[in-house]
Amino acid sequence: MKRVGFIGWRGMVGSVLMERMTDENDFGRMESFFFSTSQSGDSAPKVKNAFEKLLPAMELKELSKMDILVSCQGGEYTSEIFPQLRAQGWSGVWIDAASTLRMKDDSVIVLDPVNRNLIQESMARGVKNFVGGNCTVSLLLIALHGLFKENLVEWVSSMTYQAASGAGAKNMIELLDQMKSVGTTFAANPAASALELEKKMTTLMSSSEFPKTNFGHPLALNVLPWIDSEMPSGQSKEEWKAQVEANKILQTKTTVPIDGTCVRVGALRCHSQGLTIKLKKSAHLSTLEELLGNANPWVKLVANTKAETLKELTPAAVSGKLSVPIGRLRQMTLGDTYFNAFTLGDQLLWGAAEPLRCVLLQTLA
């Protein structure tokens, strides 16, 4: 059995990965070793075939005994450890959730439902570095897979509504803290009118006691139209990733432009996206519905009705699920090759942990 080392398995993406692997009985297929940057020697999680103690995550000697390393530890760890491991001749498979290696020529961005052939062909060629894509990109491609397969897409404009989880566990908790603060102020003013309450909330949000250490700004009762760092193009880095990563995942011969505005909203773990899709040629709505709905086992077409949309196409309905619904599909008044759609998915499942799990299982095969 292959020896698989896990680093960063206690963080949010790592925990979701552990949960999925436990649910699917994956640990029976490998020998597992759990690494820690701070608690080596302590007891490891009691999963099947696991070595009982935690190993030191900063020791190349221990890491290099593994056939496969799966890191959910973050970009800084990858930047520090990965080059050293390769420099000393470690030739195992590196599977990573962080963005550090995504755009390198010798790594493949993995998204099993969309690019399984590329993953398998790369493994056969001896590629050893496999990296999960940006969550918004992975969810977008699972949703639009049917159109990309048929080479129908000229460009996509995607306006995102991204959950707090994408910014990290502390940010998720901060959003809830902000909501608590709002709730406390509301409860203290039971007789206030809606307009009086709005004034109180706006004052509260700008006060120093409003919790915003992590986001730096209120997210509760607010939206934040900037995610990640600034790029010279005027895009945020999150916006920049859409086109470069999607085209790398799809291995397009000619770049399909994908661009839009990425916005943080007060959802907990589902990223949503409002799309304008420009097709290369006009197509009947029913053809598009069929292509989209049957592209892979995870995409789910939602009828463009008010009832179905509000029941199925919201973070509240999709949180914790592996399905990636797409709906609001209709031709736009802009012209017969312009289509509107809305899609969303769990940012920690197909957005992060599940592509890593799929590639790990393939490396064991």
Out of 63, 114, 167, 172, which residue is the one contacting ligand HSE (CB under 6 A)? 167
Work out how close the CB of 215 gets to ligand HSE at its nearest, in angstroms, rounded to a whole number: 11
Stretch that binds ligand HSE, among 85-93, 159-167, 202-210, 284-292 (CB under 6 A): 159-167
Torsion of CA 199, 202, 207, 210, to 10 degrees: 120
Q: Rounded to whole angstroms, what are the CA distances from 69 to 90, 130, 169, 308?
A: 11, 10, 23, 42
Does residue number 238 form part of the binding site for ligand HSE (CB under 6 A)? yes
Q: Which of these segments, 37-45, 160-168, 305-313, 321-329, binds ligand HSE (CB under 6 A)?
A: 160-168
- Subset of 275-304 contacting ligand HSE (CB under 6 A): none
Annotated active-site residue 135? The verdict is yes
Q: What are the φ/ψ torsions at residue 162 (nearest 5 degrees)?
A: -100, 140
227 in contact with ligand HSE (CB under 6 A): yes
235 belongs to the binding site for ligand HSE (CB under 6 A): no
**Residue 172 in contact with ligand HSE, rule: CB under 6 A:** no
Q: Which of 72, 135, 262, 358 is catalytic?
A: 135
The nearest distance, CB 3 to ligand HSE, in angstroms, is 28
Among 161-169, 275-283, 291-299, 321-329, the segment contacting ligand HSE (CB under 6 A): 161-169
**What tokens appear for 312 in the block?**
């199925």
- The residues annotated with a catalytic role in the active site are 135, 271
Binding site residues, ligand HSE, CB under 6 A: 134-135, 162, 166-167, 227-228, 238
